[in-house]
Every structure is written in C-alpha cells, then in structure tokens.
Structure 1
C-alpha cells in the first residue's frame, strides 16, 4: 500500500507544482508582457520602415529614405551609417510611456510641445508614426512627449534624447571604404617625393609579389595589415561635401596616393594630405566616400614608403603548429621541449623521455613572439658562426632540424644591432637584429628554464 500512497503524493506534488508554475510564473510573465505592450508608444516593425525624418526646432532637418538601401537625402545625399540608423529605429519601436501627465491638454506650451524641440517621423508602408519631444520635466529624468496616436501628454525617459537627437554627421556613413578585404588583388602607393611601392596577389591567392622586384620576398601579413587598416578607416570630421575640390585641401598633389585593384577589375583610390604641425588628423579623400574628410594621421605610418616595409624579414619562417621540438642553449643551460598535444609540451629529461610541462603556455608564448620578430637587414655575407654563439635555438619538424638560430650577445640596453645566423631548409644567412628583439627572445627562454626548474622541484 505504501507505493500507492507515494504515487498519490507524487501526483499531488505535480499538480501543486504545475499550479504554481502557471499562475506564479507563466501568468506573471504574460501580464508583464501585456503591460509592456500597453506602454509602447508605437507598434511598428523597424525592418519595414522606409522613411525617417528628424526635424529639430533648431538646426537642419534630416531625411532618410529606403531605396535598394537606406540613403540620406537631406541636407545632403550620402550613404547611411546602418548601425546608427538601426539603433534609432529600434529605440523608436520600443519607446515606452513612463507616465501620463495630461489626458487632453488645452495648452501645449508649458510642456515645450507647442513648437516641439524635436519631431521624428517614421513611415512604415502606408502608416506614418510621429513623435514630438518637448522640454525636460522639473526633475530632469524625463521629457514631455506626444504622438500622433495619443492625444495625451506623457513622459518618456530622458535617455531616449541622445538616441533620437541625431544630425547629419551622426547618421551618415563614416567608413571611407566599402570594398571587401578579400577582393583586393593589388596595392600601389605613390609618395610626394616620387617613391612608389607596388605589389600584386598571385593566382594562388596567398603569395604577394613586388612588381618588377620578383626577388624580394613579400610577407603576406604585412600587405594584409595595410589593407585592413585602410578598410576600417573612419572619418573624424567632414571638410567638404564636394570631393572634386582637392587642391584647396592639399590633396592635389597629395602627400601620398594609394590605389587598390579589386578582383572584379575595379579600382579604389585614396589620397592623404600633409599633417599640419601639432595636429593628429589629416585631410583625406576616398573614391568610395563622397566627401573630403579628416582622418587619424596615424594611418600614414601604416602606408609603406619602400618595398622593404613589406619584405619578409621574419626570424622564424616556420609554421608554429608544425614545430615538434624546440631545443635551446643559453647561459650554459640546455633544454629541449617536445610537443605532446597541440598546446601541450613536455620537457626532455636526462633519460631522453619527455615529462609534461605544466607551464606549456610559456613555450607557446616563445613561439608566438618569435613569429613576430624580424631582422633589420641582411648582413654582407652568410659566414658561419664565429666560435661559440651566445645563444642558440633549434626547431625540429619531422625529426629533423628545420631551423637553427644562433646569435651574438646583445647590448644590455637600447636597440643596437647584433648578428644572428639563420640556417635551415628554408632560410640561411647572417642578419642584423635589434638588441631589444634578442633580449626579448632570451627572456622568454629564461622564463621557460625557470618554470622547468620549479616544475622539477615540485615533483
């Protein structure tokens, strides 16, 4: 009989639980949603909006229409910043009444609504939604408002003001370019002094080659970085709505001109002027933005002046993930790490067997930093290492040494050049490397050595 009582209790418990869930949770959520809907000022789908007008009491009106895409048509015709417009339309559709003030006001002047501070109209097909914003309430946390659908005066949260009070420069597109990064097939820079850098992408889609300088090996990441920096460039300010007026803004001739060739055969042009003393911005014009603008002058540092700025000068021309073992000798201390898993390393002991290294991230960090390290220039000859080098590293792939780096002692401070020898299947020769680059490599090795000693002491 006990099992029957247990079933009865279980059924009762489920009934009570179901009752509580439905009336205390589901019904409350439904009521909260109903209350939210009742407080909504407008019922519209932002994605179906096709026209927006912003009419301030003071300042120029702004009008946008949706053709095949959104376009600003007043006060000038130009492209729209999609994210800014999405934010405005989203806030407009979600706007809620905080509190009703007067159901049927006889005089709108006390609320600043006789001549609204701001009027916003959104058209959605055949429906037009209009919001009037007036003065702030005495507390300052809300604004008086009206809509075409409500005769009452009500309050909306003051936070909406910054979202709705948008002018031309808030809603226009600020990105200078619309090209897709992967579409770029050629890059050419021409400086005011006549120096030219020109590279193009080969048919393999990976290798960049310098025009007329095929012997120079180009590092793809450097070209891609230039393209990325241009692609994300945004206007700080708008100088002239007529992009043909170049000379008055120091853009004809420009300080530097950049040409990009795209996969479809199209060309993109970008011009930059000179930086004025003490300024952090520079005048620019892009063939993909209809205006003369100001941009951050730091972009000039990203544009190559010589082909050497794009040259492959890596100290570590290997794929980090291919390296199976790393051996080093520094400060008369030798060690060898063996890859156990993609991100896990083991340290070889005297018996030649690798033991798991708890601080494997230090070996990975060493490889990452090496991947970013570059030499300054190639030395006059590839003569062998003179005597015992100050430091040495060997990198193994497929059980064989794929690359050896050996270097002289770096200066204790500063960036004076030090010789480094590269030998291996892919690179060979003597190069000059800044001392601070070598010091960083050595510090990474010492960090691995120190962590290894701590691991051994704790085991």
Structure 2
C-alpha cells in the first residue's frame, strides 16, 4: 500500500512538472509569435491588396485588381503581369523590420538616408479591399548594401529593412505589363489559321482531343505532336519591347499589309489574331500587334522560325507499310 501511494505521488509530481514545462514552452512560443508580429511592416496579407501605386521621381504607376486579374491604370490602361505583381506583393507585404534606427524622423536624417529629396527615393501606396491604405517610402542602402532605410507615413520611426524588399517594389511599367504575345490554352484550342503574305494559307481544325485536321489548302490529317509544339511556342513567346501605344499609321511597321497573320480560335470560340510585320534592325526583332489592340510591340527575331509555311510541314507522316 505504501509503495502504491509513493507511485501515485511521483506520478502527480511528474505530471505537475510536465505541465509546467508545457506552459513555459507555450509562453516562449507566444512571446516569439508576438515579437514576430511586432516586426511586420503591414497589418494585412498580400491577397488583401487590390490596388497599389509606385511613385519614383516623376513616374507614377498605378495598378488595380479586377476579379482575379490586374490592370495598369496609369500611365495608361494595360493588362498587368499577374506573376510579377504577385511576387512584388509577396516580397513587400510580408516584409519584416530588421531594426529601429530612430524613434522619430529628423529632417536631416531623412535626407541623409535618401528617404526625402532624393532621386533614388521610392514611394509605394498599398490599398486593401477593406480600404486600409498604407504608404512606405524607401531610401538608400546601408554601406554594406544588404540593408535599406524606410519609413511608413503613419509611423514616426525610421527603420531598417533587407535591401531586396525595395528591389521587389522597384518595378517599371515594362516589368508590370503582361508580356504574353497570345493568351490561349493550346490543347483546348478549337483550331487556328496561318496566313503568309504571298504564300499559303493553312487552316487546321481541332474537332476532338488529340485530333487535328487540315482543312486548307487541302484536307489532311495533321501530326498532333507537331501542332502541339508550334502552339506552345506561340503561347510561351514573350513581348521583347513595347514600341507605340497609339500608332497613327501601321505602314512604317509593315503591319498594314503584314507578312504573317496567325488566328487562333480559343476554347470559347473567340478568335485571337496576331499580325507580324517588318524587322526592327536596331533591337533585332519583329514589329507586331494584336488585331484587337492598338499598340505595336516587338517580338524576338526568331519568333517566325517554327511557324510552318506549308501544310505539308504539319501532315501526319505515314510509315512505309501504311496505306
């Protein structure tokens, strides 16, 4: 009986000690969590942001979210690059303060750190769907170049961040624009047409999965692997440079009578058309535009190399034993 009582006693003692250690560990974790929360620059998550504005010198870039897509509103209306925008928001909104340099903002220190009156200063406004507005101003880097100086407009302090956070925010109009040449899903396309100026017009239908039929200039069966390779090369091509947003005349670009016209019918039956014109020798590219848009842009010079010039290049080859 005495042995049993001793055993119970020690079990209770061990349980109490275990409970104390658990509480201590929990308090330590809660303290760490609280400290990490205090380091956060912004009180929201990247997915909460539906508008942001970059101000750099005299440049003003504004983007807004519409549904799942981003659109540039300033300096002009254009489709935004979703991946670049997401990376920017992830890098900036999840930023953490590396250290507090000053509890207030002396004017001389703001100038010294390149936060005000500096050509390298960068201002970023972030607005959420719940209408929270936060403004961060980035200054210069420290002598070691691994950290940067910054302030929040509604915070009296000057703090330090890792330098790559400003780099994530320091995006240009070109960086933030969608640079896809043609947006479509190759395997879901209902067909396409390739028209060479002075050459053959090739029309291909996609009646069912894995089946591609040549309907022009003559009927035939197309090789699905060749078709898939060509369509994916078109889809994965990217705009090299934006040339003219409001062209008054397409002739100088060779687009009033294009050398090549590619028309793709997407899964919804919508026709997407690309016009390819003359070469641009200085930047080694090809002038191009989409039929439904005004602006002229530049493609890589080798864009047209995989585009077939005759239907024979697409036809299914037969083995010697096949009839």
Which of 197, 209, 218 is the matching residue for 2:222? 218
The offset of 1:291, in angstroms, is: 2.8
Q: By how many angstroms is 1:27 displaced?
A: 3.9
Distance 1:302 1:244, change over 3 A: farther
Partners in 1 of 2:220 and 2:172 — Cα distance? 50
C-alpha displacement of 1:115:
2.9
Rounded to whole Å, the distance in 1 between the matches of 2:81 and 2:33 is 32
Q: TM-score, normalised by structure 2?
A: 0.85
Question: Does residue 64 in structure 1 map to residue 71 in structure 2?
Answer: no
Q: 1:210 to 1:126 in 2, by over 3 A?
A: closer
Shift of 1:244: 6.9
Secondary structure of the structure 2 residue equivalent to 1:70: strand
Separation in 2, partners of 1:212, 1:150: 67
Structure 2: runs of 5 or more not aligned: none
Aligned counterpart, 2:308: 304
Would the aligned equivalents of 1:243 and 1:285 in 2 still touch at CA under 8 Å? no
**What secondary structure, in the 3-state scheme, does the structure 2 residue paired with 1:50 have?**
strand
Aligned to 1:112: 114
| 2:204 is the alignment partner of 1:199 | yes
What's 1:128 paired with?
133
Alignment check: 8 A CA contact 2:185 2:267 kept: no
Paired residues, what number? 316
Q: Equivalent residue for 1:75?
A: 75
Residues 10/67 of structure 1: CA separation in 2 closer, same or farther (3 Å cut)? same
Q: Which of 278, 284, 288 is the aligned partner of 1:284? A: 288
Distance 2:41 2:149 in 1: 13
Cα pair 2:204 2:216 within 8 Å, conserved: no
For residue 163 of structure 1, the aligned residue among 124, 148, 168 is: 168
Deviations 1:21-53 (A, max 9, x none): 5534x4443322221110112112322323211
Q: Quote the residue 2:24 is aligned against.
A: 23
CA contact (8 A) 1:192 1:255 kept: yes
> Which residue pairs with 2:103 in the alignment?
103
Does the CA-based 8 Å contact 2:45-2:94 persist in structure 1?
Answer: no
C-alpha separation in 1, matches of 2:5 and 2:303: 80
TM-score (normalizing by structure 1): 0.62
229, 232, 235: which one aligns with 1:231: 235
Listed one character per residue, the Cα deviations across residues 278-326 of structure 1 (whole Å, up to 9, x for unaligned) are: 97532222246653222223331221111111111265xxxxxxxxxxx
In the alignment, which residue of structure 2 is the partner of 1:180?
A: 185
Extract unaligned runs of 5+ from structure 1.
Answer: 316-421, 429-459
SS at match of 1:115: coil
The secondary structure found in structure 1 opposite 2:246 is coil
**How many Å separate the matches in 2 of 1:22 and 1:144?**
39
In the TM superposition, what whole-angstrom CA distance separates every residue of 1:64-114 from its partner, at most 9, and x where no partner exists?
123444210111110111111112222222122111111113322222223
> What is the CA distance between 1:12 and its match in structure 2?
6.6
CA RMSD of aligned residues (A): 2.9
Contact 1:208–1:218 (8 Å) recurs in 2: yes
On the 8 A contact 1:282/1:295 being kept in 2, the answer is yes
